[in-house]
């Protein structure tokens, strides 16, 4: 038996920090079930030397492949093997982590605005959606295509960039589109990453639908020159046009933070902008037309406006296999007095 202690990354948001250890423990349970060969046992939360750790045991040491998955855990700061030494008691031996982040963390943290989703939670949601794929370890290849059909100012798109995914966002709010366009262009220029960016009017059959942004980029000039590039696209239009904008089976992942209350969503159908329940019931079947079989969907939302069981029914009615029960039902947490956020993941059968 090998014992491990995972040091929890400090969260700047105090409310989220209160839930971080519990969320990380449940995240590890999902990673252990889908992405890691070693069975993670005795998952718990322990204070060692006055510091909070998430602890677990395995029947044999973690392999390099196991560590590659574990390294991307949303709130993982440092990993230690716990060793009993006769003269010293418990001793922590560092185990190197190798997260697949391709860029500096400021890609996720530099944007500050009211209502921004915590970047640790966004990483958690992306991770768990990847674990719902038919091939969960495909997340390590960096070649997946991710769609956020309610992308706001792009936190999920930025996390996809960190992982080396091709990312596409759709958002009806013109101010969010403009803010993200300014941010990402400025960030790429400031960081001196080789890239091309094109903007213009989004049209379909001569009808004006909104705005478009298309960026091709690479972490190094050498990779850009060799054609080893990723794409980032943003469509400033209604989420119910997703199946009109992209070919069938275009994406491996659909990951989104649904409206928490009475703002944004869709302008196409009267009333959808005011009801997260009706919005998701109308939008999920549209989104699934561009998800490939074996792909996965992950949604976070406010359970105070839509109970978990109702959202699960919406996803099942659309033909998805929902991940439910422990530990998948252990991610609800308070955001503020009006919002209790949860997440749900599901897969599209092959």
Q: Is residue 237 part of a domain?
A: yes
The total domain count for the chain is: 2
Residues 7 and 141 placed together within one structural domain of the fold: no
The pLDDT of residue 13 is 66
3-state secondary structure of 285: helix
Of 46, 61, 95, which one is at a domain's C-terminal end?
95
| Close Cβ partners of 269 (under 8 Å, ≥ 6 residues apart) | 240, 282
We report the CATH number of the domain holding residue 276 as 3.40.50.150
Nearest to 69 by CA among 96, 99, 93, 44: 99
Looking at the fold, whether 12 and 129 belong to one and the same domain comes out as no
Q: Are 91 and 156 members of one domain? A: no
**CB-based contacts of 98: which residues, under 8 Å, 6+ apart?**
67, 68, 71
Domain that holds residue 50: 2-95
Same domain, 79 and 130: no
What string of pLDDT tens digits covers the 350 residues of the chain?
A: 899 999 999 876 677 888 999 999 999 999 999 999 889 999 999 988 888 899 999 998 999 999 999 999 999 999 999 998 877 777 899 999 999 999 999 999 999 888 888 999 999 999 999 999 999 999 998 899 999 999 999 999 999 999 999 999 999 999 999 999 999 999 999 999 999 999 999 988 888 899 999 999 999 999 999 999 999 999 999 999 999 999 999 999 999 999 876 444 455 554 445 578 999 999 999 999 999 999 999 999 999 999 999 999 999 999 999 999 999 999 999 998 889 999 999 999 99
Of 95, 122, 155, the residue at which a domain comes to its end is 95
CATH of residue 11: 3.30.70
């Amino acid at each position: 038996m090998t014992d491990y202690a995972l040091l929890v990354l400090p969260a700047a948001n105090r409310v989220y920090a209160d839930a971080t250890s519990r969320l990380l423990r449940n995240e590890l349970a999902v990673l252990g079930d889908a992405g890691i060969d070693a069975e993670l046992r005795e998952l718990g939360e322990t204070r060692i030397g006055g510091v909070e750790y998430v602890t677990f045991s395995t029947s044999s040491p973690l392999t390099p492949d196991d560590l590659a998955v574990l390294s991307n855990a949303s709130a993982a700061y440092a990993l230690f093997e716990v060793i009993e030494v006769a003269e010293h008691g418990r001793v922590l031996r560092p185990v190197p982590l190798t997260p697949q982040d391709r860029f500096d963390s400021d890609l996720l943290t530099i944007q500050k605005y009211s209502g921004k989703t915590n970047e640790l939670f966004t990483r958690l949601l992306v991770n768990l959606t990847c674990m719902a794929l038919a091939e969960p370890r495909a997340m390590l290849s960096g070649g997946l295509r991710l769609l956020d059909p309610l992308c706001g100012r792009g936190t999920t798109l930025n996390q996809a960039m960190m992982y080396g995914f091709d990312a596409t966002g759709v958002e009806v709010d013109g101010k969010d589109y403009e803010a993200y366009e300014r941010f990402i262009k400025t960030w790429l220029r400031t960081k001196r990453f080789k890239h091309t960016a094109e903007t213009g009017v989004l049209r379909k059959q001569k009808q004006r639908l909104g705005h478009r942004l298309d960026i091709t980029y690479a972490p190094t000039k050498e990779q850009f020159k060799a054609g080893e590039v990723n794409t980032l696209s943003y469509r400033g239009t209604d989420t119910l046009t997703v199946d009109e904008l992209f070919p069938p089976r275009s994406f491996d992942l659909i990951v989104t933070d649904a409206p928490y209350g009475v703002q944004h969503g869709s302008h196409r159908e009267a009333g959808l902008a005011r009801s997260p329940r009706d919005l998701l019931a109308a939008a999920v079947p549209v989104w699934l037309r561009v998800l490939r079989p074996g792909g996965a969907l992950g949604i976070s939302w406010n359970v105070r406006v839509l109970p978990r069981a109702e959202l699960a029914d919406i996803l099942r009615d659309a033909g998805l296999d929902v991940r439910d029960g422990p530990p998948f039902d252990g991610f609800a947490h308070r955001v503020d007095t009006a919002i209790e956020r949860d997440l749900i993941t599901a897969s599209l059968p092959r």
